[in-house]
Amino acid sequence: MRRRLPPFSGRLRHLLLPNPTNPLRPIPLFPILHPPLSFPRRFSSSTLSRDDGVSLCCQMWIDNYRHPDRVVTSISPLLRRFDLWLLAYQKVATDDTGSYVPRSSISTSTLQDLLALRNAVLDGKFKWGARLKFFVKSPRDKTDYDSLSKRKIKTILTTTQPSPFQDKIVQEVLLMILEPIYEPRFSPKSHAFRPGRTPHTVLRVIRRSFAGYLWYIKADFSVLLDGMKVGLVINAVMRDVRDKLIVDLIKDALVTPVVVTTVEKKEKKKKRKYQKKRVLAEDEPKPDPYWLDTFFGFAPEEAERVPNWGHCGVLSPLLSNVCLDELDRWMEGKIKEFYVPSKSDVIWNSPEEEQGNTSWPEFVPTSGPDKTRKMDFVRYGGHVLIGVRGPRADAAVLRKQLIEFCDQRFMLKLDNESLPIEHITKGIMFLDHVLCRRVVYPTLRYTATGGKIISEKGVGTLLSVTASLKQCIKQFRKLSFLKGDKDPDPQPCFRMFHATQAHTNAQMNKFLSTMVEWYRYADNRKKIVNFCSYIIRGSLAKLYAAKYKLRSRAKVYKIGARNLSRPLKEKKGQSPEYQNLLRMGLAESIDGLHYTRLSLVPETDYSPFPSNWRPDHEKLLLEFIKLDDPKTLEEQRSCISEQGLVTPQDYISMLVWNYKRNSLAMDQLSLVRSNESVVEQHSLVGSNQDDQDHINKEEEDDGKMNAAQM
């Protein structure tokens, strides 16, 4: 077997001399420069890391966006970079403890353990899912595994345990290396589990590009997010990455079994007691606030499932996109095959042309034999929405081809019921929003011959993207905020019973603000947000009525106003939290609920969405690569010279060069001129003095003559 060289042996390779007797054993030029076996006295992160981990990640993103189509064959040297391991440790420790871990606060022993973990990964000695032996432990983990009893060891080995801390570090390092490689290769039609892409981008793409489609196919591949065969995943990874060490790490993470058995405990019925406020430990992270936990319950069906394959952890969403990217490429090929232009179609006669902002009343042509046939799709996670403009028979043929492709590529058996074909008039549900076609009758005004203005009623169709009120009621019912369907009745949220009125109102205001942002692109944004505000306001009113013994919501609104901004009182006097606020001078700090009236809800965002939209980070990367390319500078210079223009930099340099070139001649000329001026001054001074002497002499002669005359 080939002996593995130390990671820093590459630096001393040029210090070795060839051995004429044995070419396989070169002679060291300076034997004393061999690396020591023990750690240096001052062992810190600066002794191992040459660069900053963030700058290294930025360079990886730039390199991969500069060459997006190349096949990566050797990326294992990046695993040797200790900067990435430090950055991964900081991120995982921050998520685990709830507070940021600066680089300077990492202890020497932790650095040694982190270095041992890196070497174990490089040497192939790392095992996923370890339970008792760890290279690195969490800062919160104070357990001494050597002194555990047999019963506790058995419990740890046979029950479900959270993912080990060291596994999360390895997952983060792999994600930092693989995500920049695959992001430039992914299709722009994919929007889930990717930076810069959200459900909002899906809704905006649908509003912009799906206006003229009549038939829709909804495909649910969420079964693939629960797990795929290891061979399919590895083949998908090896299409672009063919590094043996990286592939073996991913394969081991998928193959290693995960213990999911639990110990069943007999629960005894206990009497309901008063629940005291729970005090968190010093090293325990704070839980999610109530408003955020509540909003997580509103996740749409398409966004509920997040893949978690084996021991891959945070790497699982990236691997799912890598596997489903082949489906995206197949669908993009079908878009080109399906396109059949029509000369009589003035809007859809080119595949590159877009209709524009379809949120405004515009004429969207319907289907027909003389109309352009076209299709498009968008994917969010395991859910695909396909729009077809043409007869239903074309949509049926496309569905049959999709079923055959999934059977051959993913070994997934689908039928016609799992891929329904629906017409736009029935309403298409996607991401808790309903897509429907709305007929509008705008007034068309045009100038006829002779300058006469004619007004006529036109007929057009408009794609409407509205939030589903039925789904909103369903989510509220799941969170126990209301009961009933036709006439929903708000229910008190007793989880906030022990909180003050100011804190409860603040939590609900944050939740309402998040809901306003979620329904930002819905046509019925005002209506749906006003409904959410009504449910939450009624729930709080019932809670305050039970808390302050006011018996009804009407009394709560009478005392606390419509938005519950006034402090509530009990029968015997003022509430205790109001007394505390009054002593501290914060009696008016209770914020009222937002959006209690329809006029307070913001309007729907109809800002145009460009056809070639990219996230901000991709725009920045592509712009940087373009400016960094010397060809771009040469093209700019040639274009400026052809047009006879001068850049500001060239103009300043010309001024400076002219000044330097003419400065010596100007100095000599100024010196000559100064000498001439001095001579002139001397001559002028001499002539003036002679004239003055002559005048004085004449005056003396005149004086003598006058004296003689006298």
pLDDT of residue 325: 94
pLDDT of residue 151: 87
pLDDT (tens digit per residue) in 655-696: 888 887 776 555 554 555 555 554 454 444 444 445 555 545
What is the distance between the alpha carbons of residues 479 and 297, in angstroms, rounded to a whole number? 7
pLDDT of residue 519: 94
Between residues 240 and 23, the one the model is more confident about: 240
Closest Cα to residue 7, out of 74, 108, 66, 81?
Answer: 81
pLDDT (tens digit per residue) in 509-542: 999 999 999 999 999 999 999 999 999 999 999 9
Burial 288-306 (b: 16+ CB within 10 A, else e): eebbeebbeebebebbebe
pLDDT (tens digit per residue) in 174-200: 999 999 999 999 999 999 999 999 999
pLDDT of residue 52: 81
Indicate the range of 4-8, 331-335, 602-606 predicted with least confidence: 4-8
pLDDT of residue 693: 54
pLDDT of residue 14: 38
Cα dihedral across residues 451, 452, 458, 462: positive or negative: positive
pLDDT (tens digit per residue) in 378-392: 999 999 999 998 889
Q: How is 14-45 classified by DSSP, letter by letter?
A: GGEEPPSS-TTSPEES-GGGSPPSSPPSS--H
pLDDT of residue 245: 93
Between residues 442 and 300, the one the model is more confident about: 300
Which range of 152-161, 231-240, 432-441, 490-499 scores highest in mean pLDDT? It is: 231-240
Task: With beta carbons less than 8 A apart as the criterion, state whether 473 and 462 touch.
Answer: no
pLDDT of residue 239: 92
Percentage with pLDDT > 90 across the chain: 35
Position 51 pLDDT exceeds 50:
yes
pLDDT (tens digit per residue) in 415-427: 888 899 999 989 9
Indicate the range of 418-432, 571-585, 690-704 predicted with least confidence: 690-704
Closest Cα to residue 167, out of 122, 212, 208, 121?
Answer: 121
Between residues 568 and 528, the one the model is more confident about: 528
3-class DSSP state for residue 555? Answer: helix
pLDDT of residue 709: 43
Strands 433-440 and 460-467: antiparallel
pLDDT averaged over the chain? 79
Q: How is 132-158 classified by DSSP, letter by letter?
A: S--SS--TT----GGG--HHHHHHHHH
Closest Cα to residue 322, out of 232, 412, 196, 205?
Answer: 232
What is the distance between the alpha carbons of residues 215 and 392, in angstroms, rounded to a whole number? 7
Position 10 pLDDT exceeds 50:
no
Closest Cα to residue 584, out of 687, 528, 500, 657?
Answer: 500
pLDDT of residue 524: 92
pLDDT of residue 654: 84
Position 150 pLDDT exceeds 90:
no
Between residues 569 and 595, the one the model is more confident about: 595
How is residue 659 written in tokens?
């000044």
Q: How many CA atoms lie within 13 A of 303 on its CB side?
A: 19
pLDDT (tens digit per residue) in 284-333: 666 667 777 777 777 888 888 889 998 999 999 999 999 999 999 999 99
pLDDT of residue 237: 93
Task: With beta carbons less than 8 A apart as the criterion, state whether 192 and 321 touch.
Answer: yes
H or E element in which residue 253 lies = helix 244-255
Band of the pLDDT at 551, cuts 50, 70, 90?
Answer: confident
Which range of 496-500, 550-554, 689-693 scores highest in mean pLDDT? It is: 550-554
Indicate the range of 262-266, 597-601, 649-653 predicted with least confidence: 262-266
How much is the average pLDDT of 496-518?
Answer: 88
Question: CA 474 → CA 383, 479, 702, distances in Å?
Answer: 21, 9, 129
Position 397 pLDDT exceeds 60:
yes
Band of the pLDDT at 46, cuts 50, 70, 90?
Answer: low
Between residues 91 and 154, the one the model is more confident about: 91
pLDDT of residue 379: 94
How is residue 39 written in tokens?
């750690």
Task: With beta carbons less than 8 A apart as the criterion, state whether 207 and 609 touch.
Answer: yes
List all residues 6 or more positions away from 396 whose beta carbon is below 8 Å from its beta carbon. Answer: 421
Burial 217-247 (b: 16+ CB within 10 A, else e): bbbbbeebbeebeeeebbebbeebbebeebe
pLDDT of residue 84: 92
pLDDT of residue 345: 61
User: Looking at 374-452, which runs of residues are DSSP E strands?
Assistant: 374-380, 383-389, 421-423, 428-430, 433-440, 443-447
pLDDT of residue 354: 46
Is the pTM of the predicted complex or chain greater than 0.85? no
